[in-house]
Amino acid sequence: MFFGWENIKKAIVEWIKTFSNEDSFLSSKRMNRFIFAMSGLGLTIFIVWHNRDKFSATDNLIVISPLFAYAGFELTKTEKEKQLNKTTNETIS
């Protein structure tokens, strides 16, 4: 069973290791990005939903545009890191 207690315990331990100095299966950088992005998305959805009667399409676009800009920035940064890691791994090999 995937959601058994042992797997939940392993996930919690890995999550704690991510933000410590111990080696972890997860990446703290990606966890931070995910938490930040989900917080921004949640806040954006809340603002748009809360003001759905007052906002026009332009207002929605103004609120959502920074989220799309951030997503593009993160995508570009992640791709650059992948290329850098690929180049580094080829150099080491």
What's residue 2's pLDDT? 65
* pLDDT tens track, the chain, 93 positions: 567 888 888 888 887 887 777 777 777 777 777 887 888 888 888 888 898 899 888 888 888 888 888 888 888 888 888 888 788 777 765
Question: How wide is the angle at C-alpha 51 spanned by C-alphas 47 and 57, nearest 5°?
Answer: 95
> Can you give the residue ranges of every domain in the chain?
28-92
Integer Cα distance of 43 and 67 in angstroms: 10
Q: Are 37 and 74 in contact (CB under 8 A)?
A: yes
What's residue 74's pLDDT? 83
